[in-house]
Amino acid sequence: MTQSKSAKLFEQALKVLPGGVSRNTIFSRPHPTYVEKGEGCYVTDIEGNTRIDFANNMASLIHGHCQPQIIAAITEQLHKGTCFTLATEAEVKYAQLLCDRVPSFDKIRFTNSGTEAVMAMLKAARAYTGKAKIAKVEGAYHGAYDYAEASQTSSPANWGDAANPKSVPVAVGTPEGALDDVVIIPYNNVKGALEILNKYKGELACVLLDPVSHRVGLVAASDEFVEAIHQWTRENEALMVFDEVITFRCAYGGAQERYSVKPDMTAIGKLIGGGFPVGALAGSNEVMKVLDPMEPKVLLPHSGTFSANPITMTAGRVAMELYDETAVKQINALCDKARLLIEAVIETVGIKACVTGSGSMLRVHLKPQPPTNYREAYLDAKEQAKLVELLDYLFDNGLMMINTCTTMFSTAIGDKEVAILVETLESGFRMLLEKHPDMAV
């Protein structure tokens, strides 16, 4: 039997990369799939198989692959240089665009990833308030930072009582001191969250919220929940900070646009890089002063060798110029249509499944009712195995999804691709029902 190109490449990768990969999210058995090229909403692997890309590099490609205007702009910049120990006009132009776009953005500081942006935001909150502890929602993903990771992968074995969720580490060796400085609150539970926060009055620098947390279930934070958190932070000299690394795509001004109150700071990333590594921290003039080198005392010294490099700034600016109000409405409407069609298929097939999402994001759950928090969205081993069966089926039948069975639409996706998505999900549901009759409604 002839060995595939991917299998051969993986053998080489195992010799130089832990587990053969540089990011665990793309690992799969018996080996990862290696890409040849991408164009629009289609990706072709090195074996010659072409699939529709509904993952878009974990939500970072808002216009799909090789968008012509982005390619032209960065090609021009490449001939001028890729990075300098000098400031660039590209940085200023892009900062102006983003600050003009979002009312809560008085000032912005660029970083190289969403993780860095969240990390800088939490450190800025500490610097501004002089307090160490932060609060975050149980199960919410905020990148690879000890404090932001707490409770991210908690399970029934260690998550504690719902009224007092535990701060649980992701990585072995996480300092207990870091965990002690993270307060975990339940999602969309105003009474429960406030009872916990009130135990730490005077100690919290900020409350960190993702307004449509992917890991918590891809369900929007309620107006009541956000407003209650905001009011609590006003009364207790803390900040309310948003992680919109993923959700900035949800509306022209980010998911925060839907709320009557605004965060003091926001971390963004992914789509704002136009396909290149990026992150950014934005917020009010008062809070962002902690980063200002012109202040008598800089409370948070911050730099990064590749922060605001002109390639990323150029690609990001063009991407966001193209992602105007019309484009946002169109992509959101298409995703709304997809959710309705999938819900209809679920009812027709008669499977215990549901759909959640917001804006241009949707997630399929193999549960009869949409989850409202992390504990309801959590999958045990048997449930996870069934989800993997579905994901493998979709992949083998031409669809790339995020490994929670989540899609992140790009503007390159159209009605044709949505029809294929719905049709393939329907056949995938029928496959599951045939193998697992207990999944029938």
Catalytic residues: 141, 243, 270
Residues 212, 218 contacting (CB under 8 angstroms): yes
Task: In whole angstroms, give the CA distance from residue 265 to residue 287.
Answer: 8
Following DSSP, what letter does each residue of 60-89 receive, concatenated?
T-TT-BS-HHHHHHHHHHHTT-S--SS--H
Give residue 133's Cα distance to chain centre. Answer: 23
Residue 107's Cβ-side half-sphere holds a number of Cα atoms within 13 Å equal to 11
Give the residue among 225, 272, 357, 338 at the shortest CA–CA distance from 101: 272
- Beta-bridge partners for 351: 440
Residue with tokens 């999602």: 187
Rounded distance between C-alpha atoms, residue 388 and residue 398, angstroms: 15
Q: How far apart are CA 423 and CA 433, in angstroms?
A: 16
Distance, CA of 408 to CA of 147 (rounded, Å): 26
- Write out the DSSP string of 267-278: EEEGGGGTTS--
